Amino acid sequence: MFDPTLNGVIAQIEAGKIVLPAMQRPFVWKDDRIARLIDSLLRGFPIGTALLWKTSEMQRFRPFQKDIQSDTGIIIDFESDRSSERYLVLDGQQRLTSLFVALAGTYDGKKLFLDVLSGVKGDKDPGNVYWDCRFLTEKEAQELNRWPRPVGDKAVGSERAVFVKFHDLTRLPAAKAGLIATREAMKLRLTPNQTERMTESYLQGATILASKTALQIHLIDEDAAEPMPVEEILEIFVRVNSGGLVLQKSDLLMSLLDLKWNDIQPELYRSVVEINKAHPFNITRDDVLKSILLANASETRFDRLVADRGRVEKLAAELPQYLPGVRDAWKSLTILLIDDCKITSERFFRGGHNSLLPFVLYLFMDPHPKPAEKRRLVVAIYVALMSGVFAGAEARMGAFARKECVNGKPFPLENLCRLVAQYYGINSLEMLLRRHLDLTLNIAHGGISLDNNPENLQRDHIFPRSTLEAKGIPDDRANHYANFHFLRDKDNLNKSNIAPHRWFGKPGDQPAYSVADLKERLLTHDMLQPGKFSTMLKERSMLIQERALALFKMESVASVDALFDIPDEE
């Protein structure tokens, strides 16, 4: 019989009877959120629900973590057996893991402690925490408990605190908790009010795990005569975790594949770790899964796939053979992005990684492109990313990749440009550069190098927009890419509408921009002088286009424009 008390739930987690199915993603709550959950529990608030599926069917699962390391990343050690019935968590993983960590484990090597003198409302707002819960080492707890405190000690507050392990409080015998608290209070020489507060805390801690109402447990297939089909269980999982959004259909697809390809989750996670190792990108599990589907010439829209369960069963048998080649293709692409495209930041992948998938498929088909082919790939990557032709266009991306990125052909750069011209009217290098300011500035800077931290750089007008608007300069010229550069956020705080010849000469409390600093931005001191906006715009546009040509290894602007001016195939 299932024990719905918190004590029973934690005991069953510890015994491995309540486990996490492979479809569940990693634990993500931080220590402060765990502490807030315990504050809610101690205040008698309901802390949500958990949905558990009782089954003895073979399912991939992993036990709960009780010792959390905030920088560990993904846990990929899954198990499976038919030895006994288990309860698989379909919803409530974060709460249950938090309770398990608070009661039986650690967070970054520290135990959860509770100040038993806290919990009083006082002048606190109801939205604040009343109970002071912290993950501490024994030494840190002793330091906080020290009383009286040395004069001038600013490391801790002025109020007296008595931090006790939360686990120890919950293991006190309820009948004796009050007496134990009184004895401890006498040893610590607490005041009567403090003794009363400590006694209440001990009694509350000793009885809290007996609650059947704090966490509502909903069971599926508990003593069911007709068990629910696994496909419906998986659909329940997606709906309770995402409201049924199509974006989360990848979880359902992964779970369906997992029924036949038992190692799909750990293998994909290992591949993701290997792809992202030492690279500034965040390639995801779903990116790799889509790439494998493309390599199999399959549909990549997860919502379409999960509707055909028979097809998914066949895919589970076919897909594993493609994973090694796809993993290598992603690794080759990340190197190409950094070394040849000079792209070193996630900020340039507007619309996600969909635009990269045709290139992964191409490199899967042709793992060792020759130098001339790599040059075509660089141009094609910029065309795809800057235009956004595949961003949010799953069907278009899939059709192009499956039809065009095939073995034995050079990358279909001309057909890609034709597609971009068809959908967005882009027919020149100038129009392409206008389309994606961040990537254009990346080209202008020769690849972002400022502080090696491109995520925090800001786009900034060289000639202030407000000044140009006051002079009647049209928006399309004031906001032209040639009137922008990348700027550190701290440098942008003091810029306002200061004229460029003044600001670049004295940027707040920072050193003046040197000739080399300006050269990196394709600027000169002469371009920044009053009355030179039009000249600067014309000259810097040409310089940025020349830098793009050098990156693309193409001879002239006309040679790039010609890529978009291709008659339709008969």
Query: What local confidence, expressed as pLDDT, does residue 454 receive?
Result: 61
Which of 21-35, 333-347, 390-404 has the weakest average pLDDT?
Answer: 21-35
Positive or negative, the CA dihedral 249, 255, 261, 264 is positive
Query: What local confidence, expressed as pLDDT, does residue 246 receive?
Result: 40
Is the pLDDT reported for residue 76 higher than 80? Answer: no
Instruction: Give me the chain's average pLDDT, please.
Output: 87
CA distances for 81 relative to 1, 18, 21, 93, 99, angstroms: 22, 14, 12, 21, 26
Amino acid identity, position 155: A
Cβ atoms of 478 and 484 within 8 Å: the answer is no
Is the pLDDT reported for residue 569 higher than 60? Answer: no
- 331-349: per-residue pLDDT in tens? 999 999 999 999 988 888 8
- 241-257: per-residue pLDDT in tens? 655 444 356 777 777 78
- Dig out the tokens for 248 from the structure: 């989360």
**Whether this model's pTM surpasses 0.95:** no
Helical residues (DSSP H) of 157-259, grouped into ranges = 166-170, 177-188, 192-207, 230-242, 249-258
Please enumerate in sequence order all residues whose Cβ is within 8 A of that of 516, keeping only pairs 6 or more positions apart, or say none: none
Mean pLDDT score, 277-297: 90
79: three-class secondary structure by DSSP: strand
Burial (0-12, 13-18, 19+ Cβ within 10 Å), 205: buried
Positive or negative, the CA dihedral 205, 210, 216, 221 is positive
- Dig out the tokens for 146 from the structure: 């020290």
Q: At 543, is the pLDDT very low, low, confident or very high (cuts 50, 70, 90)?
A: very high
Q: At 512, is the pLDDT very low, low, confident or very high (cuts 50, 70, 90)?
A: confident
Amino acid identity, position 459: R
Is the pLDDT reported for residue 544 higher than 50? Answer: yes
- Dig out the tokens for 457 from the structure: 């750089």
Nearest-angstrom CA–CA distance, 244 and 252: 10
345: three-class secondary structure by DSSP: coil
Q: In the chain, how many H helices and how many E strands?
A: 27, 12
Is the pLDDT reported for residue 380 higher than 90? Answer: yes
Please enumerate in sequence order all residues whose Cβ is within 8 A of that of 566, keeping only pairs 6 or more positions apart, or say none: 414, 417, 418
Mean pLDDT score, 478-490: 86
Query: What local confidence, expressed as pLDDT, does residue 264 receive?
Result: 81
Amino acid identity, position 489: D
| Percentage of the chain modeled with pLDDT above 70 | 89
Amino acid identity, position 166: F
Parallel, antiparallel, or unpaired: how do β-strands 49-55 and 216-220 relate? parallel
